Structure 1
Amino acid sequence: MLPEVDLCLLRSNLRALASTPYFNQQVASYSEHLCSAIDHALTEAPKLSELSLRRLSETVWQAYQYLAGSISSEAPYEVQYCLEAALREWAKKDCLITTGFTYGPLAYHFNGLDPWKEVKALVPSFSAQHFDRVLVLIGVPRLYRHKPIFCIPLFHELGHFVDRHVGVVAYIRLNALQQGGSFNQVTLPPLHWAEHFADLFAACYVGRSSTGLLEAVVPNAPANQTHPASKDRIDLVEKFVNGISDPRLTAFEIALKNLGAPALKIRHTVPNLTSAYNDVRPVDIKSAAELHGLFDAAWSYFSVNESKPVSPMTNVAMSVEQFERTVNDLTEKSIRNYSTKEMWKAHAAP
């Protein structure tokens, strides 16, 4: 397809997104700015190379996929709310978390593209008028969009964004080259450093549940070119949450301190949800720390009981499907109640 045709189609669909009456004004604003960039590019098309137009089309295509997933009525609003709360302390610029739907059981991902940066580079004559929002592109299996405890890996994917945004592994890699291949006497492939950081970032917010998927699905996966062995990843998270020293943890501490970034530390408090969930009621979340700790508590509640689930109300055996739905629904409702109260406070304040 000619890039001009695709850009026209994308512009039309982005404008439709911007007029969708679903809660996220930031998504609408980003979509409108992309439309303005497309308008300018099409006007200037004779002066732009076909390659630039094609790359612009490909960039907007990718942005559209995630923007559409975040503005629809199917968007995982509750999980996005928690991810935004986690990112707030780390973001150096205005960031917008978006979720694009995937169709595989383990198809979580972070897409490292910065669409707005690409747009500005490809159409340098376009004036962004100081708009410079970073779009965070995270993929989530569509099947899990309203299953918060199955969205826990998204904290790991957000960790990959924070790594690139802050420059953690880039700092470690540069200093390792200057020190003959190691940093703080630790030698790891750069991609292994990146996975460890993402694991630890997630553990800051959701504790041991951050490695729950690894333990459930691939506990014995060996190391490869892109990932450390599952056992090594789980072991490092265990050391972190238990306050046990490790040269890799020290290396991250040094890098973050020298970068002027926040420290890796426990940022969650695990709420006691057993009595509420046993009574089939959402738990009353009191703080942002409990909001994040809810994921760890809900994952534990589900994991302990999933093999032989029993109805908390009747003490009668129930199907795994019923139990899963109950736990995820209660978790989603607990997050929604907290977010509603917080937004009410923010808008009710003078």
Structure 2
Amino acid sequence: MSLNLLINQIEEQFSRSRSNVYSDNKREKHFLNIYEVFSSIKELNISSSISASENPAYKQILQYIISDLQYLDSSTLNVIPFEIISCLELALKDWIDEDNLILSTHLSNDYNDFYFFPNPNREYFNQINSFLIAKSIAKIEYRLIKISLPKLLSRDYLSTVALYHELGHFIDFEYNFSQRLILKKYPTIPIANLQSQLSHFQEYFADLFAAQYISDASNQYLEDRMISDIGSDTHPKTSDRITAVNKFLNGESLDLLKDFNEVLSSLDKELIIRFEEKNCSSSNFYHFIPEIIENDKQLHFVYKVGWFIWKDKTHASYVGIPERQKYQMLNNLIEKSISSFFLLKGWNNIAK
């Protein structure tokens, strides 16, 4: 099968994306890098240097490139606030400290579409680069962590707590924690027969991962969006997920947490509280000014503060204010709190 159509489709997309402005140099470098790889493949195709047997491999690489382009287009400075991505990047470094990872997003028109795209994994990424190097083509330097979120909520700091959950899915996928737990608990049962249990473990892990950073803010989000408390093959009952998170936060006995941490310990990892709690009742948000955030752990907790005040219907500061205005004010205060923290952190790093 000819690559001509796919190549022209990708070239058109590159042309449209040239004016993108990214929040950091890594994204810009990745754009230039995959364009270089694409150009090399295009030249090989023009010179008829791609054999029929190699055609599928090149097609897979081109499809990989166009997928990356799609996520880069939704990861520009004017689309996704750097505040959201920067918080997630700090959490990511607790688990994987690799310079070649880029958190990227895709804006969906589906209001419910918070989703981690699980492929390709590290092994597939390395296989692509091995093939490119063998063909004397530049390798792809960066690997994208691909997360989808609703376009309508891209600047909604109350809802984007769900991205911590999606980041948890990436961490789980990267290390295969849930799959390792399945194999440990059910060593004699084929994993193909345990897909529902595996999916439930993956959801619980992502919930506990998020709660490490944002306390029960993810629970608040789940409760707010819950239509019915019915489990499925892919997701446990919402009430069971909320109970597990609450037990974790309250230090109560939770067998699933013990099971996960036994698996994680072999890789020197652990699900633990990673936020620093602040008194929500005395938050600056009640005085309509940003929170003073002193460290990374307090940074993550600001989402919990936001949800606490959003659910508070009695405090005099917001009584009589229309809910839409309260919603706008809280989102603005959360954004300014995070932005001020990273600005001050940047200044301090320069001064050192």
The normalised TM-score by structure 1 is 0.87
- Check 1:331–1:177 CA distance in 2 against 1; reply closer, same or farther (3 A cut): same
Choose the corresponding residue for 1:108, options 114, 123, 126: 114
SS of the residue corresponding to residue 151 of structure 1 reads helix
Task: For 1:156-305, list aligned pairs within 5 A.
Answer: 156-178=165-187, 180=189, 189-218=197-226, 220-260=228-268, 262-272=269-279, 274-305=282-313
Contact 2:115 2:166 in 1 (8 A): yes
Q: Distance in 1 between matches of 2:135 and 2:33?
A: 11
Please state if 1:83 is matched with 2:120. no
Q: Residue 9 and residue 50 in structure 1: after superposition, are their counterparts in 2 closer, same or farther (change >3 A)?
A: farther
Instruction: Give yes or no for contact 1:100–1:139 (8 Å, CA) kept in 2.
Output: yes
Structure-2 separation of matches of 1:181 and 1:238: 32
* Of 13, 17, 22, the match for 1:10: 13
Query: Partners in 1 of 2:228 and 2:249 — Cα distance?
Result: 21
How many Å separate the matches in 2 of 1:187 and 1:181? 10
Higher mean C-alpha deviation, range 214-223 or range 104-113: 214-223
Give the unaligned 5+ runs of structure 2.
Answer: none
Deviation at 1:100, TM superposition (A): 1.3
Taking a change above 3 Å as real, the CA distance of residues 34 and 129 of structure 1, as seen in their structure-2 partners, is closer
User: How far 1:297 sits from its partner (Å)?
Assistant: 1.2
Size of the aligned set, in residue pairs, is 337
Q: Is the 8 A contact 2:7 2:42 kept in 1?
A: yes
User: Alpha-carbon deviation of 1:71?
Assistant: 1.8
Are 2:156 and 1:150 equivalent residues in the alignment? no
**C-alpha displacement of 1:324:** 0.2
**SS of structure 2 residue aligned to 1:138:** strand
Residue ranges of structure 1 left out of the alignment (5+ in a row): none
Return the letter of the residue paired with 1:191: S
CA distance in 2, matches of 1:59, 1:43: 18
Provide the residue aligned with 1:34 in structure 2: 34
The residue aligned with 1:340 is: 343
Inter-partner Cα distance in structure 2 for 1:267 and 1:216: 24
Q: Measure how far apart 1:265 and its partner are.
A: 0.5
CA deviation string 1:286-321 (max 9, x = no partner): 11110011111111111123xx786x2xx6612111
Q: Which string of whole-angstrom CA distances, capped at 9 and with x for unpartnered residues, describes residues 229-286 of structure 1?
A: 11111111111111111221111010100123x2100101233354411221011111
Sort the Cα spacing of 1:124 and 1:130 in 2 relative to 1 into closer, same or farther, 3 A. Answer: closer
- 2:37/2:140 contact within 8 Å kept: no
Deviation, structure 1 residue 53? 4.1
How far residue 180 of structure 1 moved from its aligned partner, in angstroms, is 4.9
Per the TM alignment, residue 119 of structure 1 is displaced from its structure 2 partner at its CA by 4.3
Question: Does the 8 A contact of 1:302 with 1:327 survive in 2?
Answer: yes
Q: 1:225 to 1:104 in 2, by over 3 A?
A: same
**Counterpart for residue 76 of structure 2:** 71
Q: CA RMSD in A?
A: 2.6
Distance 1:126 1:79, change over 3 A: farther
Moved more, 197-206 or 38-47: 38-47
Shift of 1:160: 0.2
Cα distance in 2 for partners of 1:151, 1:300 equals: 15
CA distance in structure 1 between the partners assigned to 2:321 and 2:5 by the alignment: 55
Q: Is the 8 A contact 1:14 1:32 kept in 2?
A: no
Maintained 8 Å contact 2:158/2:331 = yes
Q: SS of the counterpart of 1:97?
A: strand
Of the three residues 283, 305, 320, the one matched with 1:317 is 320
Q: Secondary structure at the match of 2:148?
A: strand
Counterpart CA distance in 2 for 1:24 and 1:106 is 28
Return closer, same or farther for 1:69/1:277 CA change in 2, 3 Å cut-off: same
Question: Is the 1:206–1:293 contact (alpha carbons within 8 Å) kept by the matching residues of 2?
Answer: yes
Once the two structures are superposed, residues 117-152 of structure 1 have per-residue CA deviations (whole angstroms, 9 ceiling, x without a partner) of 574366463557676432111112122222211100
Amino acid of the residue matched to residue 269 of structure 1?
Answer: E
**One of 97, 105, 110 as aligned partner of 2:103:** 97
Q: Which range moved further: 1-10 or 145-154?
A: 1-10
Q: Which moved more, 1:217-226 or 1:24-33?
A: 217-226
Separation in 2, partners of 1:347, 1:131 = 31
Shift of 1:11: 3.5
Q: Distance in 2 between matches of 1:92 and 1:222?
A: 38
Given the superposition, is the C-alpha separation of residues 255 and 132 from structure 1 closer, same or farther in structure 2, using an over 3 Å criterion? farther
SS of corresponding position for 1:259: coil
Percent of aligned pairs with the same residue?
24
- Residue 167 of structure 1 and its aligned partner are, at CA, apart by 2.1
